[in-house]
Amino acid sequence: MTGSEAPSSFRLAYVPGVTPTKWVRIWNERLPGTPLTLVGVPAAEAAGLLRDGGADAGFVRLPIDRTDLSAIPLYTETTVVVVPKDHAATAVEEMSAEDLAEEIVLHPLDDTLGWERPPGRPALERPATTADAVELVAAGVGLLVVPQSLARLNHRKDLTYRPLAGAPESRIALAWPEEKTTDLVEEFIGIVRGRTVNSTRGRAPTPPQPKARRAEKKSGAPRKPAPGKTSRGGSGGAKNPKGGAKRGKPRRRP
């Protein structure tokens, strides 16, 4: 690389509700010389952004159009019902679709749950975004079913939420263009999968360790004499400080 060239960088897309902070921190620790740029994108546009080269990889909501894209599912979110804090639903720990039968349930155009048939009674119009739907819930117009991360993202003090049993769930995945699986993409995949620095791909094998003494004996290698033994295997006298062998007491002649 010449001095006029800009350093390589990594562009990471993410959809609303995903918090990539942990993975970004690990990236900055391991690759401080390679900037990581975050690119926010609506869930419906994430696949197109990756396919068009707008990001090197991205956190998306499944299902997506997998044409020319690879994806690794990461986790599944809890589905919740967003309700006003004074709503009767706050008296229970969990709700079901049957509990919503008489409620107006808002179904925004950017819904990510892929309902075959949303629960409850439909509103006269569909809100354009989840954020718009949250405002309508606060105004008392209806309730809203969303992944838990989106309920947290659009949190208001006058609203709360409860888990909804038996509802579709949203899955988060890491996706990237199949034909552009670069070294940096592989590095980020390793971070997301929890690989340590010492377990990354391409690491040289650990050099062999010295063999045990018994292996040396089998191969005929000389052994180190034990303390108190000469190299010939016989008993040897202890040496005095001057280097000579100690002499025993002289015997008396008869």
- Using alpha carbons, select from 163, 139, 168 the residue that is nearest to residue 151: 163
* In a shared domain, residues 160 and 189: no
Question: Which tops the pLDDT comparison, 123 or 3?
Answer: 123
Domain containing residue 97: 79-165
Length of the chain: 254
**Which pLDDT belongs to residue 222?**
52
94 and 28 in a common domain: no
Same domain, 112 and 61: no
pLDDT at 244: 47
Q: How far apart are CA 224 and CA 179, in angstroms?
A: 60
Are 25 and 143 in a shared domain?
no
Closest by Cα among 62, 72, 73, 136 to 106:
136
Res 241: pLDDT? 45
pLDDT (0 to 100) of residue 205: 40
Q: Are residues 23 and 137 in the same domain?
A: no
For residue 115, give the amino acid letter: W
CA-nearest of 44, 43, 52 to 11 is 52
Per-residue pLDDT, 239: 46
Output the average pLDDT for the chain: 83
pLDDT at residue number 214 = 45
pTM above 0.75, yes or no: no
**pLDDT of 87 strictly over 90:** yes
Domain count of the fold of the chain: 2
Query: pLDDT (tens digit, 9 = 90+) per residue, 209-224?
Result: 444 444 444 455 555 5
Residue 104 is predicted with a pLDDT of 97
Tell me if 12 sits within 8 A of 37, measured CB to CB.
yes
Nearest to 43 by CA among 137, 129, 105, 156: 129
Choosing from 165, 180, 207, the residue where a domain stops is: 165
206 confidence band (pLDDT: 50, 70, 90): very low
Identify the band that residue 47 occupies on the pLDDT scale cut at 50, 70 and 90.
very high
CA distance 39 to 15: 9
> Are 66 and 190 in a shared domain?
yes
| pLDDT (tens digit per residue) in 48-67 | 999 999 999 999 999 988 88
CATH number at residue 121: 3.40.190.10
Is 157 part of any domain?
yes
Q: Determine contact, residues 58/39, Cβ cutoff 8 Å.
A: yes
pLDDT surpassing 70 at residue 100: yes
Q: Sorting pLDDT into bands at 50, 70 and 90, what band is 201?
A: low
pLDDT at 102: 95
Please tell me what DSSP assigns to residue 181: -
Does pLDDT of 9 surpass 80?
Answer: yes
Cβ-proximal residues to 13 (8 Å cutoff; 6+ apart), any chain: 38, 39, 40, 41, 46, 49, 50, 54, 55, 57, 58, 59, 60
More confident residue, 81 or 207: 81
Domain co-membership, 48 together with 152: no
Ranges 85-89, 170-174, 235-239: which has the least confidence = 235-239
